[in-house]
């Protein structure tokens, strides 16, 4: 067996399990690798450029051996969107980051008031946790603009599947990404940014040694492409000065007309007296609005069977605040508990309907219990995931105007077939990403979280079928449970023209041999691997 380049190690595995233990992926023998920063290079820049060459070597190796590859982050996805049938590339050791000097920033951005310190280049293996830590420890501390509920994902993995959070004035993680360094062939790598919003200078692109592509369609397609556009090596993010988030949890909130107005229109005027503070006031602004529903203890206009609210206010940073405690104790769905519950539900079949409501009624208030207000930075607020182990999670993107109607339909379905979990609704600004599932100008992300069992998946299917029956437009989170996706549904969700533009963009960026390396069964099922255009 040939000697590998410095910085590439072979991983001798034949199967891989995702973080949430939803599936095991079979892999080809001797097809998986781990990348590390080469030890023989002096500077961080030299190590980064050497790693670019190692990614190119792996692409050539995959073409020569006729294997499929996919760069792997933290393995957070519940679906098989990010895995392949050949081998995986473990990138978690690639954690370099770079600040930009003024000469590396595009003059247009500077003329519009941008500063070099606003921009931050993170290597693909950096986790959200590591980015937060790096930014918050700067001499002039900075913050990312939004975060998912937990921080273990790598930046490349999180943006590639559309991780969303609930910052309804910002958008999902990909919406503060302004540039991508992507390895797209055996001897080609590109830096992609929008032509309408250039951020870096020619000097920066020369520093990377990359080919510059300024094209809105290309960027909007590549930024949510689940690893199928090549290997994302570096991610340029736009940050902002460090700020604080003040979290409040409210329970026994009646599900009434006033709350529905907030859900359907982001009109908080009628529930503002219920909120801890006004939506906007000096030094405090509503940042995150989340509605949590136990479908087994729910009745409209009844505060005793009402909902939980999670409210976060954004504040200017100050050093003299009581830092929130790290989440080490309290109730968490543990691996063994979830595995046990899953087994019980699957084995009982129809009889499980009798125990599901009492089970959820017991666990729900423990998982979402009311706590005193807490204050922290983004990094201190969004830490570890609440649910570990055998969790089922599906996330549906809908137009906010449909929020209350979809809740109503899910409650009706739950009355017929008990769902072993709960609902949450989060609100996110729409994305420009072509296949970003937060596609509606104002998107409600309705999440169905519970135990991953046959019963749970049957319930998900019933929800999707009901939305289609009622002609309620929806999308599905690429990284959550989404087994009903296929070519027709993807085109129904995003529109045929948008999907075909995404495909043509991918085909124009990658040659045929490289496209095959970064194709997997998931995108084949979704019809995203097609060759379009005239046959000549």
Residue 478: its pLDDT value, please? 95
pLDDT at 201 over 50: yes
Question: Which of 91-95, 291-295, 502-506 is predicted with the least confidence, judged by mean pLDDT?
Answer: 291-295
- What average pLDDT score do residues 224-231 get? 96
pLDDT at 361 over 90: no
Confidence class for position 151, pLDDT limits 50, 70, 90: confident
Question: Which of 71-75, 428-432, 528-532 is predicted with the least confidence, judged by mean pLDDT?
Answer: 71-75
**β-pair partners for 71:** 89
- What average pLDDT score do residues 398-402 get? 98
Neighbours of 370 (CB within 10 A): 11
Whether 114 contacts 105, CB under 8 Å: yes
Whether 458 contacts 417, CB under 8 Å: yes
CA distance 174 to 192: 14
Confidence class for position 333, pLDDT limits 50, 70, 90: very low
Helix then strand count (H, E) for the chain reads 16, 23
- What average pLDDT score do residues 94-105 get? 97
Which ranges of 281-373 does DSSP label H, i.e. alpha helix?
A: 335-348, 356-367
Letter string b/e over residues 444-464, b meaning 16 or more CB atoms within 10 A of that residue's CB? bbbbbbbbbbebbeebbebbb
- What average pLDDT score do residues 46-69 get? 97
The CATH architecture one would assign to domain 8-241 is 2-Layer Sandwich (3.30)
Average pLDDT taken over every residue of the chain? 89
Helix (H) or strand (E) holding 25: strand 24-26
User: Which is more confidently placed, 327 or 176?
Assistant: 176
pLDDT at 516 over 90: yes
DSSP code, position 205: H
Whether 86 contacts 62, CB under 8 Å: yes
- What average pLDDT score do residues 374-398 get? 80
Kindly list the strands in the beta sheet with 8-11, ordered across the sheet, starting from the edge strand earlier in the chain: 8-11, 32-35, 87-90, 69-72
DSSP code, position 209: T
Nearest partner of 378 among 285, 247, 278, 280, judged by Cα:
247
pLDDT at 397 over 60: yes
CA distance 503 to 530: 7
Please state whether 350 falls in left (phi above 0), alpha (psi between -120 and 50) or beta: alpha
Burial of residue 492 (number of CB atoms within 10 Å: 0-12, 13-18, 19+): middle
Burial of residue 15 (number of CB atoms within 10 Å: 0-12, 13-18, 19+): exposed
CA distance 414 to 315: 39
For residue 252, what are its two tokens?
């026994």
pLDDT at 218 over 60: yes
pLDDT at 356 over 80: no
CA distance 100 to 234: 13
Count how many residues are written for the chain: 536
What is the full DSSP assignment across 87-150? EEEE-TT---EEE--GGGB-HHHHHTT--GGGEEEEETT-BHHHHHHHHHTSSS-EE-S---S-
Residue 165: its pLDDT value, please? 80
Q: Rounding to the nearest 10 degrees, give the CA dihedral for residues 210, 213, 214, 215.
A: -150
pLDDT at 89 over 60: yes
Report how far apart, in Å, the C-alpha atoms of 129 and of each of 151, 186, 334, 382 are: 5, 32, 22, 9
Residue 219: its pLDDT value, please? 98
Residue 338: its pLDDT value, please? 40
What are the backbone angles phi and psi of residue 228, rounded to the nearest 5°? -95, 0
Question: Which of 236-240, 338-342, 399-403 is predicted with the least confidence, judged by mean pLDDT?
Answer: 338-342
HSE-up (13 A, CA, CB side) for residue 400: 22
Kindly list the strands in the beta sheet with 119-123, ordered across the sheet, starting from the edge strand earlier in the chain: 97-99, 119-123, 231-238, 177-183, 189-193, 211-214
Confidence class for position 390, pLDDT limits 50, 70, 90: low
pLDDT at 513 over 50: yes
Report pLDDT digits (tens) over 438-467. 999 999 999 998 878 888 899 999 999 999
Confidence class for position 426, pLDDT limits 50, 70, 90: very high
Confidence class for position 475, pLDDT limits 50, 70, 90: very high
Whether 27 contacts 15, CB under 8 Å: yes
Strands (E), 254-348: 280-281, 284-293, 307-316
Report pLDDT digits (tens) over 164-193. 888 888 999 999 999 999 999 999 999 999
Find the distance separating the first CA and the last CA of the chain, reported in whole Å. Answer: 42
Whether 195 contacts 214, CB under 8 Å: yes
Report pLDDT digits (tens) over 234-290. 999 999 999 999 999 998 899 999 999 999 999 999 999 999 999 998 999 999 999
Report how far apart, in Å, the C-alpha atoms of 16 and of each of 28, 94, 424, 429 are: 11, 20, 30, 34
CA distance 25 to 150: 24
Nearest partner of 450 among 488, 471, 419, 482, judged by Cα:
419
Residue 12: its pLDDT value, please? 92
Confidence class for position 330, pLDDT limits 50, 70, 90: very low
Whether 122 contacts 238, CB under 8 Å: no
DSSP code, position 4: P
Residue 339: its pLDDT value, please? 39
For residue 318, what are its two tokens?
């100050």
For residue 440, what are its two tokens?
């509606």
Report how far apart, in Å, the C-alpha atoms of 57 and of each of 30, 63, 157, 187, 210 are: 15, 10, 21, 9, 16
Residue 17: its pLDDT value, please? 83
User: Domain locations in the chain?
Assistant: 8-241, 243-376+387-484
User: Which is more confidently placed, 304 or 357?
Assistant: 304
Does the domain formed by 243-376+387-484 have CATH 1.10.1040.10? no
For residue 502, what are its two tokens?
């995404």
Which ranges of 198-331 does DSSP label H, i.e. alpha helix?
A: 202-208, 216-222, 257-265
For residue 151, what are its two tokens?
């921080």
């Amino acid at each position: 067996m040939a000697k590998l380049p410095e910085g590439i190690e072979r991983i001798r595995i034949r199967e891989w399990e995702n973080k949430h233990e939803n599936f095991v992926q079979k892999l080809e023998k001797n097809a998986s690798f781990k990348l590390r920063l080469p030890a023989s290079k002096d500077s961080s820049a030299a190590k980064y450029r050497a790693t670019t060459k190692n990614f190119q070597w792996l692409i050539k190796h995959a073409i020569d051996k006729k294997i499929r590859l996919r760069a792997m982050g933290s393995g957070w996805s519940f679906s098989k969107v990010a895995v392949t049938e050949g081998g995986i590339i473990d990138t978690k050791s690639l954690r370099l980051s770079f600040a930009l000097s003024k000469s590396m920033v595009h003059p247009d951005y500077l003329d519009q008031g941008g500063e070099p310190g606003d921009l931050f280049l993170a290597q693909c293996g950096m986790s959200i946790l590591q980015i937060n830590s790096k930014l918050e420890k700067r001499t002039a501390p900075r913050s990312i603009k939004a975060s998912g509920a937990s921080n273990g994902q790598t930046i490349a993995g999180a943006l590639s599947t559309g991780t969303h959070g609930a910052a309804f004035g910002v958008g999902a993680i990909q919406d503060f990404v302004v540039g991508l360094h992507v390895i797209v062939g055996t001897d080609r790598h590109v830096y992609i940014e929008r032509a309408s919003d250039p951020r870096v200078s020619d000097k920066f692109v020369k520093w990377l040694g990359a080919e510059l592509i300024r094209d809105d369609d290309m960027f909007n397609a590549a930024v949510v492409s689940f690893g199928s556009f090549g290997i994302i090596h570096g991610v340029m993010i736009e940050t902002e000065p460090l700020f604080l988030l003040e979290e409040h949890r409210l329970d026994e909130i009646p599900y009434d007309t006033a709350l529905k107005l907030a859900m359907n229109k982001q009109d908080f005027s009628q529930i503002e007296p219920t909120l801890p503070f006004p939506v906007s006031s000096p030094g405090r602004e509503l940042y995150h609005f989340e509605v949590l529903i136990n479908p087994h203890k729910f009745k409209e206009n009844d505060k005793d069977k009402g909902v939980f609210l999670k409210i976060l206010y954004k504040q200017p940073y100050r050093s003299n605040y009581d830092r929130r405690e790290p989440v080490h104790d309290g109730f968490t769905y543990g691996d063994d508990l979830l595995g046990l519950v899953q087994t019980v539900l699957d084995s009982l079949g129809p009889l499980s309907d009798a125990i599901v409501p009492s089970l959820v009624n017991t666990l729900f208030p423990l998982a979402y219990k009311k706590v005193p207000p807490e204050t922290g930075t983004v990094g201190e607020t969004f830490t570890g995931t609440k649910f570990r182990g055998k969790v089922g999670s599906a996330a549906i993107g809908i137009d906010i105007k449909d929020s209350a109607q979809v809740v109503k339909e899910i409650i009706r379905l739950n009355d017929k077939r008990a769902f072993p979990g709960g609902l949450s609704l989060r609100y996110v600004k729409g994305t420009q990403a072509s296949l970003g599932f937060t596609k509606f100008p104002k998107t409600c992300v309705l999440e169905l979280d519970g135990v991953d069992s046959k019963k749970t998946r049957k319930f998900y299917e019933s929800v999707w079928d009901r939305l289609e029956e009622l002609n309620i437009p929806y999308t599905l989170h690429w990284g959550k449970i989404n087994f009903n996706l296929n070519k027709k549904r993807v085109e129904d969700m995003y529109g045929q023209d948008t999907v075909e533009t995404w495909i043509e963009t991918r085909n124009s960026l990658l040659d045929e041999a490289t496209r095959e390396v970064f194709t997997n069964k998931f995108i084949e099922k979704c019809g995203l691997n097609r060759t379009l255009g005239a046959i000549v």
